[in-house]
Amino acid sequence: MSKVFFTKEITPEGLQKIYDALGVKLKGRIGIKVSTGEKGAKNYLKADLIGPFVKGLNGTIIECNTAYAGARNFADEHLKIAKEHGFTSFADVDIMDAEDEKKIPVKQGKHLEYDIIGKNFDNYDSYINLAHAKGHMMGGFGANLKNQSIGFASRNGKAYIHSCGHTEDPDDCWRDKHEQIDFIESMAEAATAVADYIADEGKQIVYITVMNAISTSCDCDANQDDPVMPDLGIVGSLDPVANDQAFIDLVWKYAEEHPEHEGVKALQERIDSRLGREILPYAESLGLGKCEYELIEI
């Protein structure tokens, strides 16, 4: 059974406590994957929360360009947004597919033959998947699995995942409709490919999700809505499936305890209307992690 560490303390100190509880000393050059947030978004992870943690590890913020048309689909504009949102105030920011990309194997799956990540991914020795928990217009919810699949993918890789393996062209990937479950499973396959690649290279990755400013829409949404429920805390694990499952369980627990709360109902509806929770058992079937876990509050 996987261990998931949990704190209600959403502070730089709380973030550090979660990392320390994982018992892993990441080595070498550390890439910290966050969402830099689309121009107009407001709920992305803020510099005053994650800056001390990132600086303490001498980490680099790593990201890739978006497949949709916006302010982050090309590296020059993406870096401007990263600066506007405060990320360059505490770390270097590497848009990993700014110059090139690379294909990595998908060892098992029904939809993707490979995954496509930014070339600069290989410049790092260790990784932190530092996710912000929220709903998502297409995937239902976003946390570690979304951050590792869509997030780590290059611009063309994002198109490949969104099209369920049919095209790498960002201009074409939105034209055809695909079964929602195929997209959900494609994300799981891409996330597993990244984890397998890291393991095969003898590197390490840990998973942390900050559950604050939780909205029904993603940080990639220029018209992101306001938070719909109270902050929950921070979870961390060596298992991304368990960590995402813990976020989902905490949302559902809050809903059970506050049946009158309309905001959390809206979040649940967003998640289930997009089959969001289906990513968890499918990722488990691919060997990425376990849905069953022990929650350890610190």
CATH number of 2-297: 3.40.50
pLDDT of residue 71: 55
- Least-confidence region, from 2-6, 21-25, 63-67, 92-96: 63-67
> Is the pLDDT score of 160 beyond 60?
yes
Q: For residues 127 and 216, give the distance between their C-alpha atoms in angstroms, rounded to a whole number.
A: 27
pLDDT of residue 75: 63
d(CA 203, CA 210): 23
Cα–Cα distance for residue pair 219/35, rounded to 1 Å: 7
pLDDT tens, residue by residue, 173-186: 778 788 999 999 99
C-beta atoms surrounding 106 within 10 Å = 22
Q: Is 43 helix (H, G, I), strand (E, B) or coil?
A: coil
7: its two tokens: 């704190």
Task: Read off the pLDDT of residues 207-235 as tens digits, 9 standing for 90 and up.
Answer: 999 999 999 988 777 778 899 999 999 99
95: β partners: 63
Instruction: Report the candidate in 206, 209, 49 with the shortest Cα–Cα distance to residue 133.
Output: 209
The backbone torsions φ and ψ at residue 208, rounded to the nearest 5 degrees and listed phi first, read: -135, 135
- Give me the residue label for tokens 């590197």: 203
Q: CA 288, CA 92: separation in Å to the nearest integer? A: 30
Quick: pLDDT tens for 32-70: 999 998 887 888 999 999 999 999 999 999 999 876 666
Cα–Cα distance measured from residue 158 to residue 41, given in angstroms and rounded to the nearest whole number: 20
The dihedral sign for the CA sequence 171, 174, 176, 179 = positive
Residue 6: partners with Cβ closer than 8 Å, 6 or more residues away: 18, 233, 234, 235, 246, 295, 296, 297, 298
Sign of CA dihedral 17, 34, 296, 195: negative
Helix 180-200, helix 155-162: angle, nearest 10: 140
pLDDT at 39: 81
Provide the b/e sequence for 159-171 (b: ≥16 CB within 10 Å).
bbbbbbbbbbebe
| Beta partners for residue 61, in sequence order | 32, 93
Pick the closest to residue 33 from 186, 157, 153 (CA basis): 153
Query: Rounded to the nearest 10 degrees, how much is the dihedral formed by the CA atoms of 185, 187, 190, 194?
Result: -120
- How many whole angstroms from its chain centre is CA 290? 17
* Residue range 145-155: mean pLDDT, rounded: 95
* Domain ranges for the chain: 2-297
DSSP 176-206: S---HHHHHHHHHHHHHHHHHHHHHTT-EEE
Its pTM stands at: 0.96
How many contiguous H segments (helices) and E segments (strands) does the chain have? 9, 12
